[in-house]
């Protein structure tokens, strides 16, 4: 009887210490706070490849950047959505938890979780950072125009100057010319594919193409011009579709819409 009591006491002590150990080992994971916009893309750069993404609601759109395993791109699927959450698991088994809020103008668009805190993308085993992008963009800006696509709206013009291929990326150079005295402030620059023809009963289908890199969207002063360079994962345009390049004016009505067919995209040159 006494032997059974001792055994019962030992078992109780074992379970007590086991429970204590589990309590000590557990810890809460504080979520990061991020803001996403309907008009702008936010980028989360992780040190390892993304293996799993879970959104609290469909109001948040999330996709891995094409050709890149460690960058998650976020955008709001609707404006002023109720705050939600996002969970990301990377190849090293790390969990990243986020609380997601809507903001028309997010305070921060890009977040890096790399050990050296440098924004970098793992593209085919090579690290390409913002400095390299900027250097390539400067070279492309000095290149002559060889494409002729352009559109005009209220003394503001948009030109597609050239398309180059470099570092397994497709680089577009745009030029905005402001022929008025009122400064033109670009609010957004969008690239998307849409069908050339559609039935009246068919909803418009658009596939947005998100850039890997884009130069600053500074103002185009009156009677002046400005170049903008954007880099994408290489793509082609189906013959039944067309590429739309849209530039919206901040607080204004001069929206520039340039249609580019599949033949123009195939004119891309090597850099």
pLDDT digits (tens, 9 = 90+) for 168-177: 899 999 999 9
**How far is 62 from 77, CA to CA, in rounded Å?**
9
Per-residue model confidence as pLDDT tens digits over 223-239: 999 999 999 999 999 99
* pLDDT of amino acid 13: 55
End-to-end, the C-alpha distance of the chain in Å comes to 88
**How far is 108 from 256, CA to CA, in rounded Å?**
26
Q: Is the pLDDT of residue 206 over 90?
A: no
Q: Is the pLDDT of residue 74 over 80?
A: yes
* pLDDT of amino acid 47: 83
Higher pLDDT, 2 or 178: 178
Per-residue model confidence as pLDDT tens digits over 93-146: 889 999 999 998 888 888 888 654 334 444 544 445 566 788 889 999 999 999
Percent of the chain as helix, strand, coil, to the nearest 5? 15, 45, 40
* pLDDT of amino acid 198: 66
Domain spans, the chain: 32-123, 134-270
For residue 221, name the pLDDT band (cuts at 50, 70, 90).
Answer: very high
Higher pLDDT, 127 or 25: 25
**How far is 54 from 32, CA to CA, in rounded Å?**
15
User: What is the Cα gyration radius of the chain?
Assistant: 25
Q: How many CA atoms lie within 13 A of 193 on its CB side?
A: 13
Fold of the domain built from segment(s) 134-270: Immunoglobulin-like (2.60.40)
Rounded to the nearest 5°, which phi and psi values hold at 65?
-60, 135
* pLDDT of amino acid 192: 93
Which CATH number among 3.40.1560, 3.10.350, 2.60.40, 3.30.390 corresponds to the domain 32-123? 2.60.40
Rounded to the nearest 5°, which phi and psi values hold at 199?
-70, 150
Per-residue model confidence as pLDDT tens digits over 76-90: 999 999 999 999 998
Per-residue model confidence as pLDDT tens digits over 144-169: 999 999 999 999 999 999 999 987 89
Q: In percent, how much of the chain has pLDDT > 70? A: 80
| Residues 6 or more apart in contact with residue 263 via CB below 8 angstroms | none
* pLDDT of amino acid 266: 96
Do 32-123 and 134-270 agree at the fold level?
yes
* pLDDT of amino acid 204: 59
């Amino acid at each position: 009887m006494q032997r059974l009591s001792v055994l019962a006491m030992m078992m109780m002590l074992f379970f007590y210490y086991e429970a204590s150990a589990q309590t000590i080992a557990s810890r809460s994971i504080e979520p990061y706070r991020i803001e996403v916009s309907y008009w702008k893309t936010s980028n989360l750069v992780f040190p390892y490849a993304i293996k799993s993404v879970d959104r609290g609601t469909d109001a948040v759109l999330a996709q891995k950047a094409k050709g890149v395993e460690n960058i998650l791109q976020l955008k709001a699927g609707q404006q002023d959505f109720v705050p939600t959450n996002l969970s990301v698991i990377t190849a090293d088994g790390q969990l990243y938890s986020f609380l997601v809020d809507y903001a028309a103008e997010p305070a921060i668009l890009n977040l890096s979780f790399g050990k050296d805190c440098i924004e970098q993308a793992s593209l085919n085993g090579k690290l390409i950072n913002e400095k390299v992008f900027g250097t390539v963009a400067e070279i492309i800006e000095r290149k002559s125009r060889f494409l002729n696509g352009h559109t005009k709206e209220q003394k503001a013009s948009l030109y597609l100057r050239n398309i180059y291929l470099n570092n397994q990326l497709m680089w577009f150079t745009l030029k905005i010319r402001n022929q008025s005295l009122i400064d033109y402030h670009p609010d957004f620059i969008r690239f998307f594919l849409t069908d050339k023809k559609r039935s009246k009963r068919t909803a418009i289908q658009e596939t947005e193409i998100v850039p890997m890199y884009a130069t600053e969207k500074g103002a185009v002063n009156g009677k002046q011009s400005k170049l903008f360079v954007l880099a994408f994962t290489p793509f082609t345009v189906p013959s039944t579709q067309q590429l739309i390049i849209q530039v919206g004016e901040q607080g204004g009505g001069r929206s520039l819409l340039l249609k580019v067919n599949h033949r123009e995209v195939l004119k891309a040159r090597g850099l």
